[in-house]
Amino acid sequence: MSDNPFILEPYKSKELFCDRETETQDILRYLENGRNITLISPRRLGKTGLIYRVYDEICDRKLPFETFYMDISSTQSVDDFIRILSESVVTVLNHQTRISDFFKKIGGIRPVLSYDSITGKPEITLSYRDEQERNLTLKTILSYLESNKKTVVLAIDEFQQIREYDGVNMEALLRTYIQPLHNVRFIFCGSKKHTMIDMFSNARKPFYESTTFLPLGKLDINVYADFITELFARSGKTIDRELVLKVIDWTRDHTFYTQTLCNEIYSRCGAVVTAQDLTDSIQKILSSNQDRFLELQRLLTPAQWKLLKAIAKEGYVLHPTSAAFISRHKLTSGPSVLKNLNSLIEKELIMAETESPGTRYSVYNIFLSRYLEKTG
Ligand SMILES: Nc1ncnc2c1ncn2[C@@H]1O[C@H](COP(=O)(O)OP(=O)(O)OP(=O)(O)O)[C@@H](O)[C@H]1O
Ligand SMILES: [Mg+2]
């Protein structure tokens, strides 16, 4: 077991998780008041971690909820969705009689349960005669949760993925089955802001106004700085405030990148963290990512790569099609910049954030941004 306190997984314990107190309390209050929640943030900011933080709090305070979590990022179809859902149910039931009871309820389709020999995670195989039987299975699993003694919280992570299912309106199907439930609260979680907002605030879509929005922002810089200082101190290491602020600034306070840099610094520093430790850690991170970035360059057109680099060099860009920006970086023309910009946004290489003066663009992956900044 590693003793590095800067975790690179969504959640380990409250002590190693920075803040999110307001969000945790808000989510609990919504759940206690019968509301479903839509949790949105850019990738790698801490949505999944926050869900686990809330679940931990529910457990600590012995709140009357039973919590379930499913990540549907790898699903391509309703079949996959049902499989992941039933595996997440079985993971929580974790008791032979409860699992048998669950299987009895969905028994018509003869589920087969096995356990992964390495991870020990349950794996379920389901087979249906037809679409009707499949839909009925989904309905039955949700009804099973509805009949649970305690109120169920079901978090569906990467929810926007249901739009990728071929030949089925999964939103409509799910909404039909979810609407009558009173004993199940949903946390719909996703990083594709446009899709998520369209799903939950477009009057023509099935989930219209069915949830409370919770947009997750970056951590407060001072709170995060205190947290980082404290984690070093707990292991008997000292770090200057100025250095901590540099770490947060270099990683633009984007949690995953900040945690990774802190993890690297911690792994190489002595009792006092020095400016050289920071420089070496940055160097190490950039060089260990270099092959990946070069591979990415091969996958993009030269014009896309040039635009990505131009945005990285400026950090944040408000008017990427302006004459000034185009001439500063020797790009071709407004329309071609716009086309490449859209395609980089689509590939999640550029992040578009709508803020008060307008939309601002930046390179999504902070390490890539810092790498490109330095290239000629
Ligand atoms: N509050 C926090 N305190 C400490 N580390 C955090 C915190 N939130 C997130 N992290 C770090 O950031 C990483 C990304 O968090 P997480 O996986 O929860 O993000 P996400 O928004 O679900 O990302 P994705 O959209 O890619 O699924 C975690 O692995 C962890 O290292
Ligand atoms: Mg996540």
Residues 90 and 188 in one domain: yes
Amino acid present at 312: A
Q: What is the dihedral of CA 260, 261, 267, 269, to 10 degrees?
A: -160
In angstroms, what is the span from residue 180 Cα to ligand 1's centroid? 33
Task: For 62-79, write each residue's pLDDT tens digit.
Answer: 999 999 999 999 999 999
Ligand 1 pocket: which of 256, 262, 285 to mutate (most atoms <8 Å of CB)? 256
Are residues 50 and 190 both part of a single domain? yes
C-alpha of residue 161 to centroid of ligand 2, in Å:
12
**Judging by beta carbons within 10 Å of its beta carbon (0-12, 13-18, 19+), is residue 166 exposed, middle or buried?**
exposed
Mutate to test the pocket of ligand 1, among 14, 44, 257 (most ligand atoms within 8 A of CB): 44
Which of 215, 231, 264 is a domain's end point?
215
For 375, the domain range is 300-376
Say yes or no: 318 and 208 in one domain. no
295, 305: one domain? no
Q: Is 273 close to ligand 1, i.e. is its CB under 6 Å away?
A: no
- pLDDT for the residue numbered 97: 85
Please give the order of strands across the beta sheet that includes 65-71.
Answer: 65-71, 151-157, 184-190, 37-40, 212-215
Query: pTM of this prediction?
Result: 0.94
Which of 188, 215, 242 corresponds to the end of one domain? Answer: 215
Domain count, the chain: 3
In this prediction, residue 106 carries a pLDDT of 82
Is 123 inside a domain boundary? no
pLDDT at 96: 81
Q: Which residues in the chain come in under a pLDDT of 50?
A: none
With respect to residue 282, please indicate whether it lies within any of the assigned structural domains: yes
Cα of 177 vs centre of ligand 2, distance in Å, is: 25
Domain-terminating residue out of 171, 194, 215 = 215
CATH of residue 157's domain is 3.40.50.300
Report which of 140, 156, 168 is spatially closest to residue 84, judged by C-alpha positions. 156
* pLDDT tens profile 100-116: 888 888 876 778 888 98
273: domain CATH number is 1.10.8.60
